[in-house]
Structures are given as structure tokens and as C-alpha cells.
Amino acid sequence: DRAVELVPEEPYRLIENERDRLRDDNAALRELVLRLAKTNPRDEQWEAGYKALQKRARHLLDSIKDTRT
């Protein structure tokens, strides 16, 4: 036999939910970084691509910020 430490369900669920949220945030940010790393801007179109990525990044940061409050 070995000793185990039991924790109340509610704090466990809160931590579990936070873990899941952080995983989702990480996946979204990783996708953005991968898209940026793999993007090859075309002549005269780099600015539009940059602005689209910037808009996506702002959206992701805002959504992450919203879940912290």
C-alpha cells in the first residue's frame, strides 16, 4: 500500500479547466507562429500578408486576455 493525498473536486476541476485553456492558447499561438514561419511573401503583397498576420495575432492576444479576467 502507498499513501495518497486526496484533493477536493472543485479546486481540481478549476486547475483542470485552466490546463485545458492554456493548451488551447498554446495551440492557437503555435499555429500563428508556424504560419508566420512558413509564409513567403510575394512581391508587392508582403504588407497585406503582414497586416493579416498582425490582425490574427491581436485577436489571439485579446482572446487570451479576456479569459484571464
* Per-residue pLDDT at 40: 84
Closest among 32, 10, 13 to 21, alpha carbons compared: 13
Residue 69: the pLDDT is 56
Q: Are 49 and 39 in contact (CB under 8 A)?
A: yes
Rounded to 10 degrees, the C-alpha dihedral 44/45/46/49 comes to 170
The DSSP H or E segment spanning 49 is: helix 46-68
pLDDT in tens, 42-51: 788 888 888 8
Q: What is the pTM of this model?
A: 0.71
State mean pLDDT over 35-45.
84
Confidence of residue 7 (pLDDT cuts 50, 70, 90): very high
